[in-house]
């Protein structure tokens, strides 16, 4: 598979589409990230993309993501200076410069936003992320699956408040970072697992940036976008139909809810229910699980194959729900402990989507 | 007035009583602080007490206090290692050792607790504090009245979580620190306004430690403790009577409520209502203000003159409510803006207690 060496303004629309597909409904709407990235590239120039093995063993990588309910961040843009505040704090703590930016989560706005943050800092973007998708909670990252300690979390908000956490473990990092985010108005930029190139090897999902761009280009260039997407991702089509019910509530720094689809065409007479915590978590049909976390579940427009994010779901949309396998690290016992169905309160065992019918 | 040069185990009971009187109902029950201080002095030895003018101009002073609703901290003791975590973070940030500890708030458990924290760190305690009393919110400190910036807030909890804030202003420092405290279980140790000896001159209430000890000794040594206290403090006696109603609710990191007293003896037929946010804020009689923040209002036992803290108020207690003038810095326009009645949501102008009848 071909990888890329830089992101230019021309790449952004396809890259954003790919991030949307990998967002499983969450990670924030790609529109706000796309706008920020377009402005940043215009002002600061193209962003070089480098594979992790090109980062020096002791080079500091700054993984960044927005934190907060996407329904909030959608309404509350960043100032643009958050990455500068965070990088300055990290460089002060480590006593040396940051070498590169990485998306903590490639899915949704956080994937395309990483281009803006790297451009603002004048740093390359690592072709990797901490999820290979989007997840709602701070501790749900590959670095945690790999057993690395949450050494440091740095949060900056639009007002300029800077908060640095040294939590004792992953669940505490989530509890405290989420409380800070809510206190700051519901949305913040966050760095976590600030580690060196050597430490991150084997502990991240490599090739995510190239993968998102490839997905977006495939969709953009095909006359049958949904079909092309299914082939590229080796995805299972869970249902094609119409959105007949959307329930969402925002609180505690998350948006939670569910989505009900009524099948159309070949799927007439079938219904699918998708449950959501920022991201799409589990898809049920007649009480049976059709797909569940950590496998990816994305709702796409039936014509364009554009991902429909949690905050833009609405009654009457014609959509197809796709599911495909997550990165293998999430299927390990520790990966499932951190982001399997039980980590979200579901009393069910994980079954890979390709084994569910 | 005589000042002291060290605190020994023998001084602790009187010192704790004095901190209780200065606590205006809040700052945490002195019992938990007294226990912690007694243990710390037994393990680490006496704590030298030094006036601020003996701290080197560039000597770093670490102001410490517990943060959280006193009803919570009462039930959730600290680990004892919180000051060590905080001092290590501060020394890392400033690149040099801390010279002394200061109580952020002399009133209540936070005054006597400062002895424990200084002992644990093997550092002297500055004979000063940031209030001359107790106040419920982070920004309500003399350093803020003096116009010093909230450069840094460091919080440590009983689990070992460490959080460092660089807030843009006082209200944000309160909002974020409070949210972190609630997320950490409702109680934490906090350093704020970490500044040098030179910066703190004129920006703190000097002599607070000596003052608390003098109050405690006066009460302990008198055959008529309440009378002795009134004379020492030049206090106004608002009412002597019986607690007939106590309303308290704990939420958002505070305890709020009110207290109603029915006069006895010479005060028979009169009633007093005291409103509370951790501390006693305003005393009303027949709709008239008898005393209000920032002046001190303390409920004391009618026999022993021991302060009755917010969390130990109960029906039927026989008490006297005293009020006396706050430190002059709180009576300046900026002092009243930060901690006058309007800062607590009361639509009333401040009148010094000695002018109210």
Reported as a single tens digit per residue, the pLDDT across A131-142 is: 999 998 888 999
- The listed range with the strongest mean pLDDT (A20-29, B64-73, B345-354) is B345-354
Which residue of chain A has the CA closest to B165? A163
Percent of chain A with pLDDT over 90: 82
Cα angle A30-A33-A34, degrees, rounded to a multiple of 5: 80
Model pLDDT, residue B76: 53
Lowest mean pLDDT among A149-163, A328-342, B10-24, B57-71: B57-71
pLDDT at B341 over 60: yes
* β partners of residue B257: B248, B276
Tokens 């010094």 found at: B352
Query: pLDDT value at position A254?
Result: 77
**Cross-chain Cβ contact A162/B165 below 8 Å:** yes
Q: Looking at beta carbons, which residues of chain B come within 8 Å of A89?
A: 166
Contact A160 B168 (CB under 8 A): yes
Give B266's contacts (C-beta < 8 A, 6+ positions apart): B240
Shortest distance, CA B200 to any CA of chain A (angstroms): 24
Q: Name the band, by pLDDT with cuts 50, 70 and 90, for residue A262.
A: very high
Q: Which residues of A touch B180 (CB under 8 A)?
A: 163, 176, 179-180, 183
The whole-number pLDDT of residue B254 equals 77
Per-residue pLDDT at B292 exceeds 90:
yes
Nearest residue of B to residue A175, measured between CA atoms = B183
As a whole number, mean pLDDT of residues A200-228 equals: 97
Query: Which residue of A lies nearest to B153 if distances are taken between CA atoms?
Result: A163
Q: List chain B residues with CB under 8 Å of A165.
A: 161-164
| Contact present, A184 and A157 (Cβ < 8 Å) | yes
Digit-coded pLDDT (tens) for B30-87: 888 899 999 999 999 999 999 999 999 999 999 999 987 655 554 456 788 999 999 9
Q: Is the pLDDT of residue A72 over 60?
A: no
Say if residue A253's pLDDT is above 80: no
Omega cis (within 30) before A294: yes
- Apex A161 CA angle, A158 and A167, nearest 5: 115
Percentage of residues in chain B having pLDDT higher than 90: 82
Average pLDDT, chain A: 93
Residue A278 reports pLDDT greater than 60? yes
Residue A124 Cα distances to A98, A134, A189, B195, B233, angstroms: 10, 22, 18, 38, 65
Q: What is the pLDDT of residue B70?
A: 58
Task: Check whether B195 has a pLDDT greater than 90.
Answer: yes
Domains of chain B: 6-208 (3.40.1610.10), 224-355 (2.40.390.10)
Confidence of residue A70 (pLDDT cuts 50, 70, 90): low
Other CB atoms closer than 10 Å to residue A41's CB: what's the count? 21
Burial label, A1 (beta-carbon count in 10 A; 0-12, 13-18, 19+): exposed
Whether residue A214 has pLDDT greater than 70: yes
Contact A182 B179 (CB under 8 A): yes
Closest to B23 (Cα-Cα) out of B86, B84, B106, B117: B106
Could you give the count of Cα atoms lying within 13 Å of B271 in the half-sphere of its Cβ? 9
> Which candidate from B167, B168, B182 shows the least CB-CB separation from A179?
B182
Integer Cα distance of B66 and B187 in angstroms: 7
Q: Does residue A252 carry a pLDDT above 90?
A: no
pLDDT, one tens digit per residue, over B135-177 is 988 889 999 999 998 889 999 999 999 999 999 988 899 899 9
Least confident of A182-186, A291-295, B15-19, B113-117: A182-186
Which of B183, B184, B186 to substitute to test the interface with A, most A CBs within 10 Å?
B183
Tell me what pLDDT residue B310 has: 86
For residue A43, the model assigns a pLDDT of 96
User: Which residues from chain A sit within 8 angstroms of residue B162, using beta carbons?
Assistant: 165-167
Is the CB of A176 less than 8 angstroms away from the CB of B165? no
Locate the chain B residue with the closest alpha carbon to A158: B168
Which chain A residue is nearest to residue B183, measuring alpha carbons? A176
Pairing of strands B60-68, B187-192: antiparallel
Residues 6+ apart with CB under 8 A from B258: B245, B246, B247, B273, B274, B275, B276
Structure confidence at residue A288 (pLDDT): 96
What is the pLDDT, as a whole number, of residue B230? 98
Q: What is the pLDDT of residue A98?
A: 98
Residue B202 has pLDDT above 80, yes or no: yes
- State whether residue A81 sits within 8 Å of chain B by CB: no
* Complex prediction ipTM: 0.78
SS (H, E, C) chain B: CCCCCEECHHHHHHHHHHHHHHCCCCCCCHHHHHHHHHHHHHHHCCEEEECHHHCCCCCEEEEEEEEECHHHHCCCCCCCCHHHHHHHHHHHHHCCCEEEEEECCCCCHHHHHHHHHHHHHCCCEEEEECCCCCCCCCCCCHHHHCCCCCCCEEEECCCCCEEEEECCCHHHHHHHHHHHHHHCCCEEEEEECCEEHHHHCCCCEECHHHHHHHHHHHHHHCCCHHHHHHHHHCCEEEEEEEEEEEEEEEECCEEEEEEEEEECHHHCCCEEEEEEECEEEEEEECCEEEEECCCEEEEEECCCCCECCHHHCCCCCEEEEEEECCCHHHHCHHHHHHHCHHHHCCCCCCCCHHHCC
Q: What are the chain A neighbours of B152 within 8 Å (beta carbons)? A: none
> What pLDDT sits at residue B2?
66
Q: What percentage of residues in chain B have a pLDDT greater than 70? A: 97
Look at residue B151 in the predicted model and tell me its pLDDT. Answer: 80
Of A64-78, A105-119, B6-20, B295-309, the range with the lowest mean pLDDT is: A64-78
* Adjacent-strand bridge partners of B237: B322
- Banded model confidence at residue A76, pLDDT cuts 50, 70, 90: low
User: What is the pLDDT confidence band of residue A280, given thresholds at 50, 70 and 90?
Assistant: very high
């Amino acid at each position: 598979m071909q990888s890329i060496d830089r992101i230019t303004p021309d790449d952004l629309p396809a890259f954003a589409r790919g991030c949307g597909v990998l967002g499983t409904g969450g990670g924030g709407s790609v529109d706000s990230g796309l706008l920020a990235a377009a402005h940043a590239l215009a002002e600061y120039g193209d962003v070089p993309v480098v594979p992790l093995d090109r980062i020096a063993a002791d080079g500091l990588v700054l993984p960044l993501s927005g934190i907060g309910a996407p329904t909030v961040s959608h309404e509350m843009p960043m100032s643009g200076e958050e990455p500068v505040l965070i990088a300055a704090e990290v460089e002060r703590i480590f006593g040396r410069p940051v070498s590169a930016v990485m998306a903590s989560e490639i899915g949704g706005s956080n994937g395309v936003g990483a281009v803006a943050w790297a451009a603002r800092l004048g740093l390359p973007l690592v072709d990797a992320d901490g999820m290979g998708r989007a997840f709602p909670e701070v501790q749900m990252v590959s670095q945690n699956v790999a057993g690395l300690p949450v050494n440091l979390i740095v949060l900056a908000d639009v007002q300029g408040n800077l908060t640095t956490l040294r939590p004792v473990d992953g669940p505490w990092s989530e509890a405290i970072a989420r409380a800070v985010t809510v206190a700051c108005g519901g949305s913040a930029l966050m760095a976590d697992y600030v580690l060196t190139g050597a430490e991150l090897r084997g502990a991240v999902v490599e090739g995510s940036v190239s993968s998102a761009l490839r997905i977006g280009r495939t969709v953009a260039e095909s006359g049958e976008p949904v079909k092309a997407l299914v082939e590229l991702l080796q995805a299972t089509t869970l249902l094609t139909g119409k959105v007949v019910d959307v329930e969402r509530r925002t609180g505690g720094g998350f948006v939670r809810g569910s989505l009900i689809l009524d099948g159309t065409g070949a799927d007439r007479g079938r219904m699918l229910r998708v449950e959501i915590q920022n991201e799409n978590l589990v898809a049920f049909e007649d009480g049976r699980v059709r797909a569940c976390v950590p496998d990816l579940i994305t709702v796409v427009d039936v014509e364009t194959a554009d991902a429909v994010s949690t905050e833009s779901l609405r009654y009457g949309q014609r959509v197809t729900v796709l599911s495909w396998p997550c990165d293998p690290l999430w299927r390990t016992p520790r990966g499932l402990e951190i982001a399997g169905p039980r980590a979200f309160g579901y009393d069910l065992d994980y079954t890979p989507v390709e084994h569910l019918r």
